Chain A
């Protein structure tokens, strides 16, 4: 069947195999290879795709296996959604320590991209909270991997290329409830953003910001939050979700709509700046209620460009990238700017690392867009940064190699039965 990922950039035929969660792995071993695991396809590019070949869909590997409410350790199959963990464990006073900006992703996907959240400076990335997982290699070998094992470090952030993750044991984080005390602030320059980030690191668990990349000088909104103490309660968010009703013939995100949208968003948020008690759902997952919002970019799909650059180049590189974007006039609905903390990631190919990360969406376009990407790549390359594989569909191979210095070490742990469009594009096989 035709299969795509979140960016909707390709719709190639795949042989889709829905893995059985009640006899885990047997069908994987018996199936045609090479293939690649596919969780919810919330990656933007080709990390979960294998055009013309097999994908192993893990959605039916969705059972919890064990939970200890005293220690907050949960063991579950790799197809369990983060949303399911949040919902099920919250009443017991536990939540995921790290969650990306959508909870509609699988545990396997969160491990394979070693995803990060708004609290990186406090909790690191997803892999820091994995205590063990079961890895099934296409040879039939089944291994229990723990922190310290080389195969553990290869598989965390390993892009699905080291074997099929059958299940994982996660350490959750204790919470009083679903509420966060948040603060929203407007800033009007990049310097101000870096100042706010630095000031917030010690006292705030979550920090993230939205930046208007068309305004040039670095105008944006800074959001920070802390889990609310016991007894602090806000108003429940509406539970209604909406679905993007159709794919418009052209992208709704274009030069005409962007400027007014960004202006409006900035001024709306600025008007509501200040302190709030917010539920974790709208704070952490602002887009999850608008199902299939990716369709608004039209049938050609869209790219997300997410980079990270080391702290010492953070300001200069970010400024240069924003200027390049403003000059090109091609912008982004969601330009997210955030600093990562100092924690070393667990995985050999983990993306999160100390520095500054910028994420931008671009409707798929022609030569002008490729030129802009080349310009942005040059800035990232020069700063010694990297591009996030979980979002990528196009980075040049040399930038991959320079951005992931442990690549050679990683390659030794690849499973020969596994290959993706991304692995062929960037690793040659």
Chain B
């Protein structure tokens, strides 16, 4: 499957996704379709990738992430033109938990964009990859999806949805030639976490996380914790008994 020939990135303006794109484009020429909601932001990334890898073909597409019909049409049109070897589904947003509690519209938006929307994209690509008999899907979840916490359970619940969805797809697509990777980053220095960064919180660099994702997908791993230490940390957190966990301020 490698080097991937046609890569599609959903939420391509995400910092994590952009650094994955740089790695996929490094070395060999690829064809890449960058999908997002804002053309001028996508354009800046496409121009950058074009300089880094002049022989690659970089296209941009905008789509309404809130519309199942639009997601369907996007996938339909992409596969009608050419096969898709790899899709990374990366969009997401970190809401303020208190606002999700106070305003149900906030909560719905957060649940939709972090949970339902990525699941719909995955569904739209899975069936078509199954039909072509090959492909790879990378779905970005989060360590926050491993256990609900008071500080971000709306976001965490949406990421938990992504986790279950990826598991189900893995079960369904076993032996089909289509591989699904569930990616769970720990706190990473990106625009999403600028607030924490400005307060001086230490986080993994986006370069390190992107390299972990690209290597993990290249190895065909089903679950990719990045950086790797989060696998152990989250195993502990998941197994803490409720009477201890519920007294922790995390």
Contacts and interface: CB of A to CB of B under 8 A. Distances in A.
Interface in A411-427: none
A18 B191 contact: yes
Interface in B48-64: 48, 51-52, 54
A64 B47 contact: yes
Contact of B44 (A1, A2, A63, A67): A63
B151 to A, nearest CB: 20
A66 B191 contact: no
A17 interface: yes
A88 interface: yes
B45 A64 contact: no
A27 to B, nearest CB: 10
Contacts of A18: 191, 194, 197-198
Given A18-B191, A22-B13, A22-B45, A64 B52 contact: yes
A88 B47 CA distance: 14
Q: Report, as a range, how many residues of chain A touch the other chain.
A: 20 to 34
Interface string B15-56: 100000000000000000000000011001101100110100
A74 interface: yes
Contacts of A316: none
Contact of B51 (A2, A15, A66): A66
A20 B15 CA distance: 11
Chain A residues touching B, majority SS:
strand
Contacts of B229: none
Contacts of B40: 22-23
B48 A69 contact: no
B239 interface: no
Contacts of A65: 44, 47-48, 51
Contacts of A67: 51, 54
A67 B194 CA distance: 30
A63 B48 contact: yes
A74 B198 contact: no
A21 B44 contact: yes
B199 interface: yes
B198 A1 contact: yes
Interface string B154-165: 000000000000
A66 B47 contact: yes
B196 to A, nearest CB: 10
A1 B199 CA distance: 5
A67 B52 CA distance: 9
Interface string A45-71: 000000000000000100111110100
A63 B45 contact: yes
Contacts of A74: 51
Contact of B41 (A2, A22, A69, A76): A22
B228 to A, nearest CB: 19
A65 B47 CA distance: 5
Chain B residues touching A, majority SS:
helix
A16 interface: yes
Contacts, number: 44
Nearest to B46: A63
Contacts of A20: 191
Given A23-B41, A63-B45, A17 B51 contact: no
Given A67-B51, A74-B51, A22 B44 contact: yes
B200 interface: yes
B51 A88 contact: yes
Interface in A1-16: 1-2, 15-16
A60 B191 contact: yes
A17 B13 contact: no
| Residue from A1, A18, A22, A65 whose CB has the most chain B CB atoms within 10 Å | A22
Nearest to A84: B52
Contacts of A63: 44-45, 47-48
Interface in B168-213: 191, 194, 197-200
A280 B145 CA distance: 46
A357 B59 CA distance: 50
A16 B195 CA distance: 10
Contacts of A23: 40-41
A65 B194 CA distance: 24
Contacts of B44: 21-22, 63, 65
A64 B51 contact: yes
A194 B45 CA distance: 49
A368 to B, nearest CB: 34
Nearest to A22: B41
A20 B44 CA distance: 12
Interface string A18-47: 101111000000000000000000000000
Contacts of B48: 63-65
Contacts of A2: 200
A69 B53 CA distance: 12
Contacts of B54: 67, 69
Interface in A161-197: none
A77 to B, nearest CB: 8
| Residue from B15, B40, B44, B51 whose CB has the most chain A CB atoms within 10 Å | B51
A88 B41 contact: no
Contacts of B13: 22
A16 B47 contact: no
A237 B142 CA distance: 38
Interface string A77-103: 000000000001000000000000000
Nearest to A89: B51
Contacts of A16: 197-198
A182 B51 CA distance: 31
A107 B44 CA distance: 18
Contacts of B197: 16, 18
21 contacts: A1-B199, A1-B200, A15-B198, A18-B191, A20-B191, A21-B44, A22-B13, A22-B40, A22-B41, A22-B44, A23-B40, A23-B41, A63-B44, A63-B45, A64-B48, A64-B51, A65-B48, A69-B54, A74-B51, A88-B51, A88-B52
Report the 8 A-B pairs with minimum CB-CB distance, sorted nearest first: A64-B51, A63-B48, A1-B200, A22-B41, A67-B51, A64-B48, A16-B198, A18-B194
Given A22-B41, A60-B191, A66-B51, 4 more contacts: A16-B197, A18-B197, A64-B48, A64-B52
